[in-house]
Amino acid sequence: MTAQDTIRARARELLENGEVTTFIGWESGRFENQTTPLVITDASDADKLVCNEYCVNTLAKYARDVVTRGKVGMVVRGCDSRGIVRLINDQVINREDVYLIGVGCAGVRDRKTGELLKKCAECRHGDPVICDEMAGDAAGRPQPSERFKEVHEVELMTQPERSRYFEGVYAKCIRCYACRDVCPCCTCRECFVDQRRENWVGKQNNVAENRFYSLTRVMHIADRCIECGECERACPMGLPLMKLNRKVIKDLNDLFGEFESSMTLDEEPGKLITYDLVDCEEFM
Amino acid sequence: MILTKQNLMPLLRNLTGAERDVFVPTQVDGVSKFALMDKGTVPDFEQVNTTMPPKDLLFPQTQKMYHFDVDANGSYRIHEYDESREQLVFGIRPCDMRSIVCLDEVFLTKGFVDEFYANAREKLTCVCIGCASAAETCFCASMDVDPQLAPNADVMLQDCGDVYNVIAQTPKGEVEVAAWAPFVEEGVVEPVTCEQSLAVSMEGVVDKLEGMYDHPIWDNLSIKCLNCGTCTYLCPTCHCFDISQDMRRKDGVRFRCWDSCMFSEYTMMAGGHNPRPEKLERVRNRFMHKLNFFERRYGMSLCVGCGRCVEKCPVALDITRLIDDVAAIG
Amino acid sequence: MSRIGVFICYCGSNIAGTVDVEAVAEMARTLPDVVHVETNKYTCSDPGQEGVRNAIISHEIDRVVVAACSPRMHEPTWRKLLADTPVNPYMLEVANIREQCSWVHKDREVATAKAMDLVKMAVAKVARLQPLHSTEIPVHKKALVIGGGIAGMQTALDIADAGFKVTIVERETSLGGKMVMLDKTFPTMDCSACICTPKMSEVGNHPNITVKSYSEVENVSGYIGNFEVTIREKAKYIDYNLCTGCGACETKCPQKVVNDFEQGMSERTAIYKMFPQAVPAKPVIDAAHCRKLAQGKCGVCAKVCPTGAINYEDEDKLTTETYGAVVFATGYKLIDWKPLYPEYGGGAYPDVITGLQFERLVNASGPTEGHILRPSDNSEPKDVVIIKCVGSRDPNKGKAYCSRACCMYSAKHAHQYLDKVPDGRCYVFYMDVRTPGKGYDEFYMNTLHDGAQYIRGRVSKIYQEGGKLICKGEDTLTSQQVTVEADMVVLETAMVPADGIDELAAKFTVGRDADSWLVEAHAKLRPVETNTAGIYLAGTCQGPKDIPDSVCQAGAAASKVIGLLNKDVLQSNPQISHVNEAICQGDGACVGICPYGAIQIVQKTFRENSRKVTRPVAQVNPGLCQGCGACTVTCRAGAMDLLGYTNESIMREVDALCQW
Amino acid sequence: MSVVEANKTAQVGVPDSWEPKVIAFCCHWCTYTGADLAGLNRMNYPANVRVLRIPCSGRMNPQYVIEALNKGCDGVLVCGCHPGDCHYVTGNYYARRRMMIFKRLLEYEGLEPERFQVRWISGAEAGKFRDTVMSVVEQVRALGPLNLTREIPQFELPAVPDGQEAFNAVPEEVMPEEVSA
């Protein structure tokens, strides 16, 4: 009984006895090794569900759209489950709205090259952090050693080099907002980029406005980022977005103490919405 | 006329004259797009089509339209920008050429000529290279585009293995090919037929879509969509834009920039009402526009089968599967 | 289209000295939406203000920019000026071209350019402001005082004398707190009973004061002017309407219990009055120890009671009332020194007692009727050692702070001992003697004169040897070792906040410092107020202090409460946060940020896309929000905005500076 | 694809008439009071700084910094009360964390550290305000104009196409006599 068969059986069962109204998983796409997210409502589609090492999408954020239809069943690995925790802690969904079937994850592969994705090579939590039941045993992958390697590389560059490097990065951005729409931390009803009255960021696509958008988004998800790396994967232009997110996470850990967001439902509030009288002082 | 592949690079170097920008498909910083040909660029003609479409040359993502200011006695002065320059795009593919047909229809016909687009279009000469092999996501043949033929290209280079079959198709093309004399020889060669693994039948799809406004297929499709703008910005035929301005106290620039029907703000009205509030409406609208609305208005499909959205969609939402599903209904 | 009026002031030569005001005016005329620009020698003068008022009327101006001195100086003046014109007082922006421009720059051309920039910023901001109106909050004319000690009683009396209803909630069975336990009070040595009990009876009989003894605050909601407080009156098992306080039941009750009031040095019965002069002067049954209630046996008191006031089925009573203001007077307790100082015997020696125990010994109504007899064998101690700063000024074992009152009351103890035991010897080990009050040092000199031996040094060890307590210490003035054989040792222990202060303060969102003392709004300028509007502090709950200071603070707190309750309605600060409910996600990131607890998440129903949707949204309480804006930055979507300093107005202000 | 807009003024070609433009976001209760006190004491500091008053340093949104740098400022200074003095109790504690993280992020992206500074200045520290302003202006002057690509709209008027007079459209509502003296 592979994990996939267990999931199919459980999905059919859950849908039949009405415990969940919809079930979210993956289905195979048109091309070889291609998968795409699938949301099924009747049990007969359960056999379309697949769960292999090519399921590249993180499913957490779909819970938000589907939860209005009733209880949602979902397959969760490490990144999905942390995404769900993030949605719950941000009051987007409630814990009883979702029924989570956990699956150990050994990392997913690119359908063309077959190599482990970058986000999975850097993944620190392959196994689900919360789930109602486990389909198959945990993969128990060791945590990668160098979490902030990329950040160190950029920090070693001189200031003009960094400036040119990031100007090059922002020149590529086409402002399609895939990074925002795939991120489980980005759940605002109306994003600041759409607020024409405040006109935070202009609609023109140039380095300055792209930088404004990127810096703001990094500051918005700073202490809640679950490091799933989906933004980097979804970006059509291949921007190194995790270099920015991880930089802020590294600073938060160095300055205000080790902290990994979205690991438990009762986690204490993020570092940027709390304070400590004895924070180190550098502005005196 | 025949052009051997070895002569391609010398021809290109010869073409990069001072008065004209030559754009070639190449990798810029990891992203394949049409970029200005200068000493350092290495054109990549093997790759089937570039991630960023060539529409940027005719319809840039951000285009300054005009500058306005108030002079001393309070009356407005308006000066139009014309940033169009003589451009040659070398190595554009037939599917992208077909997308230019769609863009021409939108910007130049039906009683309104967009002069920014028109200026750019006049000054653009297109040298199209046919495809010998197709990527796994290419399905242009199913959208009645011949991988080796582009009727509206100025010069057509049909890929015939190690030589190109040069056909000048427009007066501008003849002038262009005339200048290539030292690099081309006489003769005609049979172009390689390009096999495509991906094929869909558009048979009756357009009509069926008419009656499918409330069909559950849209719900299953739109649930998985992230509503990001990737597919619309990578699609060679998407042409929606928004106009905004950069203001200073008494002067400013109005510019035009790409916009995507996938964003909720795109249809957000002043009073707060949004005719397409949810993902379902927006995804349905995009596919209907691609496959039905455009057909009804201009008589041609707005999807040219380049496969960019199939390739780059973060959640692998596939227009070809939609076409198959619609065809399979009823 | 808004019609902006710009009024630039010469301020005599203060501004005109280094800023070319006319040039600035000329520039201002070219700014968008500016329809009228006027310069004025002294805009703040009456003729100046008159000029502004006329200009507003004649040019139908709806937004005003005043370029003059600092807004901290005259913004209220301009607001008052606008109050009687059709312009809303908050459609105003002040450009500070004096303190931050003409006074700090010498070069005329540079100063004028800066003044122009500041006017541009002001015009850009004022163009985006909205009219603001302060909301009115009703004020319930009732006060709640928590704690019935001298501070609580004094506060209650002052408020009640001003004609307002007051409720005192006292946890013990009677008013009086710690003061009523004392014998004499420094520096005038008048006996505590003589000055405290009259206050207690005055409070007990005051028509405006209701005393809820043996009661505790259960929970709290609401805000300034409208605190809904639920008070739990614990079951007394005695019907106070019938009981005459004759005391028959107390004499017959067979169950003996350790008497906390007497600091554990004597016993009381299960049905008891804390002390003879208790107010309310009626007993309470201690449910934990009463044989009837605990084991269902006995019932003597019911039989003996002439009026049948005993009711064993009595239950706690919960009452909820709305109060306009709350005053904390929860007092202090002495630190539990035993676990902290094993070197002083850690409680093993009964003759090592605390200051309060000494007070009970020396008190006429105490267990020894005022004779100083040591607890171990009730003999009169001939040698007494008093050790000061036990637990105070001792960061690593006890508390870091000084408890302020012990220097005086240790001198008092020495004086009382030498008074009552003429041939006794008293040694006082001290680090410093701090007697800062009126007549305080004279009192200390008097004690020295009585023959108290003040030894500068701390006692390092006390051990029992042959019926004597050997205190080893050092006299740092003569730098010699000192050993005193004492019959009894009195430790002047540190003051710490009363039990349960953390839970109680948390219910009212009142801050506490590291030692759990309640945090005042400003140590020097607002000592009796807290950061939560409508909640005040009196007495030792705010920090260790003696009775004169406590009473002084009680009066101050009462005056603040009277000031508040005098108003029928409170004007809320209009420049507060505002929630755009269309965008609000209800994730509550802002709730935790607000230092005033002004934001709460409520469920609301909206009509969205022709569907009714019920979802959580944030709600700002205008009574509590002070307008700091910290929540606007945590709100990622920008749903929370600060009126008066909206995101849009600040963004355009930045644009105006950079681009105009 | 739009080529990187090179509207950076090359470091070499800095016009000597260039003056650094610095914006200072000052909290109303402490630093603004300190700035006023500096005025009362007739202290002198360079006029390159414009003060923007905000109620508390807790109100300081990092997005204002990016807007300022993007639109034309060469340096940004954020000032607030000393931790513990905040009129709103905890405003500057949150501001401290936000600004520490944001400052490191900006430097990580290639902004010179001196261009974005944060300082706690109390209502009595007029001298400290003057010294801070002087040092910030000097440091920014030394660094020259901000050479990050910025969104300063390039308004070089295009040459009027020959033969076609730029048409003047006279708007109706802004009448000349309306803008009276």
Nearest to C538 by CA among C142, C140, C139, C158: C158
Which residue in the block uniquely carries the two structure tokens 């707005």? B302
Minimal C-alpha gap between A244 and chain D (Å): 8
Nearest to A264 by CA among A87, A82, A61, A93: A82
Minimal C-alpha gap between D10 and chain A (Å): 13
**Count of beta carbons in the 10 Å neighbourhood of residue C483:** 10
Q: Which residues contact A204 (CB under 8 A, 6 or more apart)?
A: B62, B244, B246, B255, B257, D151
Residues A127, A13 share a domain: yes
Indicate the residue of D1, D105, D147 with minimum beta-carbon distance to A248.
Answer: D105
Residue C222 lies in a domain: yes
Which strand ranges, in their side-by-side order, compose the sheet holding C209-212?
C209-212, C165-169, C142-146, C325-328, C535-537
Q: What percent of chain A has pLDDT over 90?
A: 79
Minimal C-alpha gap between A34 and chain D (Å): 30
**Do residues B131 and B41 lie in contact, with contact meaning Cβ atoms separated by under 8 Å?**
no
Res. D158 pLDDT band, cuts 50 70 90: low
Q: Does B82 touch chain D (CB under 8 A)?
A: yes
**Cβ contact, residue pair A198, C647, below 8 Å:** yes
B227: three-class secondary structure by DSSP: coil
The CA-based diameter of chain C, rounded to the nearest angstrom, is: 100
Indicate the residue of A187, A189, A273 with minimum beta-carbon distance to C634.
Answer: A273
Q: Where are the domains of chain D?
A: 19-180
Residues C509, C591 share a domain: no
Structure confidence at residue B97 (pLDDT): 94
**Do residues B171 and B199 lie in contact, with contact meaning Cβ atoms separated by under 8 Å?**
no
By residue count, chain A amounts to 284
Residues C220, C263 share a domain: yes
* Number of domains comprising chain A: 2
**Do residues C653 and C121 lie in contact, with contact meaning Cβ atoms separated by under 8 Å?**
yes
In A172-191, the residues whose Cβ lies within 8 Å of chain B are: 172, 174-178, 180-182, 190
Indicate the residue of D1, D104, D110 with minimum beta-carbon distance to A163.
Answer: D110
What mean pLDDT do residues A86-90 have? 94
**Do residues C216 and C231 lie in contact, with contact meaning Cβ atoms separated by under 8 Å?**
yes
Structure confidence at residue C37 (pLDDT): 96
Report the alpha-carbon distance of residue A38 to residue A55 in Å, rounded. 11
**Do residues C596 and C533 lie in contact, with contact meaning Cβ atoms separated by under 8 Å?**
yes
Say if residue D166's pLDDT is above 50.
no
Q: Which of A89, A190, A194 to mutate to test the interface with C (most CBs of C within 10 A)?
A: A190
pLDDT 10s digits, C631-656 = 999 999 999 999 999 999 999 999 99
Q: What percent of chain C has pLDDT over 90?
A: 72
Report the alpha-carbon distance of residue B9 to residue A200 in Å, rounded. 46
Which residue in the block uniquely carries the two structure tokens 């990050």? D148
Instruction: Name all contacts of D157-166 with Cβ < 8 Å and 24+ positions apart.
Output: D157/B67, D157/B79, D158/B67, D158/B79, D158/B80, D158/B81, D158/B82, D160/B79, D161/B80, D161/B82, D166/B77, D166/B78, D166/B79
Bridge partners, residue B185, by sequence: B2
Minimal C-alpha gap between C47 and chain B (Å): 33
| Chain A residues whose beta carbon lies within 8 Å of the beta carbon of residue B257 | 203-205
Residue A205 lies in a domain: yes
Domain carrying residue A62: 3-134
Among B11-15, B238-242, C616-620, D153-157, the least confident range: D153-157
Which strand ranges, in their side-by-side order, compose the sheet holding C459-465?
C459-465, C468-475, C480-486
**Do residues B97 and B148 lie in contact, with contact meaning Cβ atoms separated by under 8 Å?**
no
In D61-120, the residues whose Cβ lies within 8 Å of chain A are: 62-63, 66-67, 70, 82-84, 90, 93-94, 96-102, 104-112, 118-120
Report the alpha-carbon distance of residue C397 to residue B287 in Å, rounded. 75
| Chain A residues whose beta carbon lies within 8 Å of the beta carbon of residue B232 | 176
Decide: residue D153, CB within 10 A, 0-12 exposed, 13-18 middle, 19+ buried.
buried
Token pair in block for residue C298:
């006995």
pLDDT 10s digits, A134-184 = 988 888 888 888 899 999 999 999 999 999 999 999 999 999 999 999 999
Domain carrying residue C49: 4-126
**Do residues C488 and C381 lie in contact, with contact meaning Cβ atoms separated by under 8 Å?**
yes
Q: Which residues contact B93 (CB under 8 A, 6 or more apart)?
A: B48, B49, B128, B129, B130, B131, B306
Q: Does A166 touch chain D (CB under 8 A)?
A: yes
Residue A16 lies in a domain: yes
Report the alpha-carbon distance of residue C5 to residue C392 in Å, rounded. 63
Give the angle B76-B81-B82 at the CA atoms, nearest 5°.
Answer: 150
Total CB pairs under 8 A between chain C and D:
140
Who wins on pLDDT, D153 or C161?
C161
Token pair in block for residue C262:
């007497």
Report the alpha-carbon distance of residue C148 to residue C330 in Å, rounded. 8
φ and ψ of A30, to 5 deg? -70, -40
Res. D5 pLDDT band, cuts 50 70 90: very low
Q: Which of residues A108, A134, A160 is at a domain's end?
A: A134
Report the alpha-carbon distance of residue C155 to residue C136 in Å, rounded. 27
Domain D19-180: CATH class, spelled out: alpha beta
Q: Does A206 touch chain D (CB under 8 A)?
A: yes
What mean pLDDT do residues B93-101 have? 94
Nearest to B153 by CA among B172, B169, B137: B169
**Do residues C480 and C461 lie in contact, with contact meaning Cβ atoms separated by under 8 Å?**
no
* Number of domains comprising chain B: 1
Residues C314, C235 share a domain: yes
**Cβ contact, residue pair D150, A208, below 8 Å:** yes
Structure confidence at residue C61 (pLDDT): 95
Give me the half-sphere count of Cα atoms (radius 13 Å) on the Cβ side of residue C622: 15
Q: What is the DSSP letter of B194?
A: P
Q: Which of A89, A91, A196 to mutate to test the interface with C (most CBs of C within 10 A)?
A: A91
**Cβ contact, residue pair D157, B28, below 8 Å:** no
pLDDT 10s digits, B148-186 = 999 999 999 998 888 888 999 999 999 888 888 888 888
**Cβ contact, residue pair A233, B233, below 8 Å:** no
Report the alpha-carbon distance of residue B205 to residue B296 in Å, rounded. 12
Q: Which residues contact D35 (CB under 8 A, 6 or more apart)?
A: C99, C100, D26, D51, D126, D129
Residues A176, A99 share a domain: no
Res. C601 pLDDT band, cuts 50 70 90: very high
Res. D173 pLDDT band, cuts 50 70 90: very low
**Do residues B199 and B193 lie in contact, with contact meaning Cβ atoms separated by under 8 Å?**
no
Report the alpha-carbon distance of residue C154 to residue C144 in Å, rounded. 13
Structure confidence at residue C595 (pLDDT): 87
Token pair in block for residue D46:
């360079």
**Cβ contact, residue pair B248, C660, below 8 Å:** yes
| Chain C residues whose beta carbon lies within 8 Å of the beta carbon of residue D121 | none
**Do residues B24 and B43 lie in contact, with contact meaning Cβ atoms separated by under 8 Å?**
yes
| Chain A residues whose beta carbon lies within 8 Å of the beta carbon of residue C584 | 189
| Chain A residues whose beta carbon lies within 8 Å of the beta carbon of residue C634 | 272-273
What are the DSSP calls for D5-32, one per residue?
---PPPSTT--TT----EEEEEETTTHH
Structure confidence at residue D156 (pLDDT): 61
Report the alpha-carbon distance of residue C450 to residue C442 in Å, rounded. 12
Report the alpha-carbon distance of residue C169 to residue C220 in Å, rounded. 14
**Count of beta carbons in the 10 Å neighbourhood of residue D123:** 21
Q: Are strands B21-28 and D75-80 parallel, antiparallel or unpaired?
A: unpaired
Residues A129, A25 share a domain: yes
Res. B309 pLDDT band, cuts 50 70 90: very high
Residues C274, C232 share a domain: yes
Q: What CATH number has the domain bearing residue C618?
A: 3.30.70.20
Report the alpha-carbon distance of residue B321 to residue C24 in Å, rounded. 67
| Chain C residues whose beta carbon lies within 8 Å of the beta carbon of residue B248 | 659-660
Alpha helix (H) residue ranges in D42-180: 62-71, 91-108, 126-143
Residues C234, C205 share a domain: yes
**Do residues B175 and B20 lie in contact, with contact meaning Cβ atoms separated by under 8 Å?**
no
Domain carrying residue B139: 2-328
Q: Does D101 touch chain C (CB under 8 A)?
A: no
The three-state DSSP-derived secondary structure of A9-66 is HHHHHHHHCCCCCEEEEEEECCCCCCEEEEEECCHHHHHHEECCCCCCCCCCCHHHHH
Q: What is the pTM of this model?
A: 0.82
Structure confidence at residue D87 (pLDDT): 84
Indicate the residue of B248, B249, B277 with minimum beta-carbon distance to C609.
Answer: B277
Task: For chain D, report the end-to-end CA distance as a whole number of angstroms.
Answer: 49
Structure confidence at residue C624 (pLDDT): 85
Q: Does B245 touch chain C (CB under 8 A)?
A: no
* Number of domains comprising chain C: 4
Structure confidence at residue D153 (pLDDT): 64
Res. D159 pLDDT band, cuts 50 70 90: low
Structure confidence at residue D177 (pLDDT): 53
Query: What Å distances lie between residue B69 and B73, B78, B80, C29, C38, CA to CA?
Result: 11, 7, 12, 17, 26
Indicate the residue of B61, B67, B76 with minimum beta-carbon distance to D2.
Answer: B61
Say if residue C557's pLDDT is above 60.
yes
Say if residue A26's pLDDT is above 90.
yes
Indicate the residue of A155, A216, A279 with minimum beta-carbon distance to D108.
Answer: A155
Give me the amino acid identity at A39.
Answer: V
Structure confidence at residue C536 (pLDDT): 96
Q: Does A63 touch chain B (CB under 8 A)?
A: no
Report the alpha-carbon distance of residue C39 to residue C58 in Å, rounded. 16
**Cβ contact, residue pair C659, B272, below 8 Å:** no
Q: What is the DSSP letter of C318?
A: E
Token pair in block for residue B176:
């262009």
pLDDT 10s digits, C477-525 = 999 999 999 999 999 999 999 999 988 988 887 888 878 999 888 888 8
φ and ψ of C421, to 5 deg? -125, 85
Task: Determine the residue of chain C that is closest to A277 in CA distance.
Answer: C514
Structure confidence at residue D161 (pLDDT): 52
Report the alpha-carbon distance of residue C375 to residue B24 in Å, rounded. 103
Average pLDDT score over chain B: 90
Report the alpha-carbon distance of residue B223 to residue B215 in Å, rounded. 14
**Cβ contact, residue pair C592, A191, below 8 Å:** no
Residue C466 lies in a domain: yes
Give me the amino acid identity at C370.
Answer: G
pLDDT 10s digits, C320-353 = 999 999 999 999 999 999 999 999 988 899 999 9
Query: What Å distances lie between residue C527 and A138, C141, C330, C512, CA to CA?
Result: 59, 23, 16, 14
**Cβ contact, residue pair A205, B61, below 8 Å:** yes
